[in-house]
Amino acid sequence: MNKLVIGGAAVLEGSINISGAKNSALPILLATVLSSEKITLRNVPILKDTTTVLELLNKLGADITISEDSSLEIDASKIKSVRADYDLVKTMRASILVLGPLLAKYGSAYVSLPGGCAIGSRPVDLHLFGMEKLGADITLNEGYVDASVSGRLTGGNVNLDVVSVGATENIMMAATLAEGTTVIDGAATEPEVSDLANFLVAMGAKISGIGSSRLVVEGVKSLHGCDYSVIPDRIEAGTYLIAAAMTRGKVTVKNVNPGHLDIVLDMLSDVGAAINCTSDTITLDMQGRRPLAKSISTGPYPYFPTDLQAQWVALSTVSSGSCLIEENIFENRFMHVHEMKRMGADIRLQGNSVEVFGRESLSGAKVMATDLRASASLVLAALVANGETTIDRIYHIDRGYTYLEEKFMSLGAVIKRI
């Protein structure tokens, strides 16, 4: 099993390019099932999860071509199967997002209940609720969602009483080919949801209210091909910016939308970072200063993203002062805390929050990654630790970060995979 070995006490300096957003790419790839023509996708990140989705699409019957410029051409117009087997989807939560497209386009879907990171229950109830509101018959059969509809789905009013990115995306995709108009109230407003909506519009869907909590989808009979580029990954960008802050360095991230990171940039400014933005770059400069402690509370967009909570905990372990970090999205997302304590961090777990008392430095240790973002947070902690850190079970990292070692090495980190 692969491990990362990281030499600590790094000061990160330089610039890197940010990859396409994983959380946009996965639903967009699955949405190609809705099209009756070939789709060209650009800026798709090379990750374990995107590879898994492409394998799933291929098994369903889609033709996939990777061009010389790394763009993807996907022709899903002749899908032969509506079955998404457990063997393919067991490691990836986003696989449930194939349910809406298959149901809308082909009238049936047989999709395994998915797996993914162990950071909470994350039930699919809202996804199924939305499909039923659009007229689908849903049953659970030996770990599979068995969904069908006679004829086309029909538009309806769907009120999501809990903000859910995945449910919003699944219902929106299904509604594009439904007969009539669908209104989704309580929709998630994350940039990745808007990116999927814009992709669907590029295919001929009629969606209004993009970026708001009320989406209105007017169903059409078919969707056509398009050429579309995935937005930059704000979570990857945030990870490198937080790493720069905690190592007291200066880093520029390129190919990024600063507007997607407003709250994160505000918090980084509060810890003492000098921030300079252009239309597609962010430069963070700590000017050699130790970061100040800053409390945060996660929430749905535009609040502080849960996918950067673990990285913020890492920052806080070496900040000046103490802070409280509240997790309001997932009930089991502090598993990195115990591993950071092995590195000398002073963290006290209190239900859905942790109190962190910053120390001048951490110590290298052997630690184990438990999920995707926890993996990234341990890398960040290792960068500031005295001595060498070995991180086990790093396959989690490959689900969400493209060329992580190479990017960190280009910024001056000592890091290698063994």
Write out the catalytic residue numbers: 117
Cα separation, 348 vs 341, whole angstroms: 10
Cα separations (Å) of 47 from 338, 372, 397, 400? 27, 12, 9, 6
CB-facing half-sphere around the CA of 395: CA atoms within 13 A: 9
DSSP 164-194: -HHHHHHHHHHHHTSBSEEEEET----HHHH
Q: 103: which 2 tokens?
A: 């149901």
Cα separation, 41 vs 191, whole angstroms: 18
Torsion sign across C-alpha atoms 117, 122, 125, 130:
negative
Give 277: exposed, middle or buried? Use CB within 10 Å, 0-12, 13-18, 19+: middle
Give the ranges where 372-414 is alpha helix by DSSP (H).
372-384, 404-410
Residue with tokens 């995306």: 169
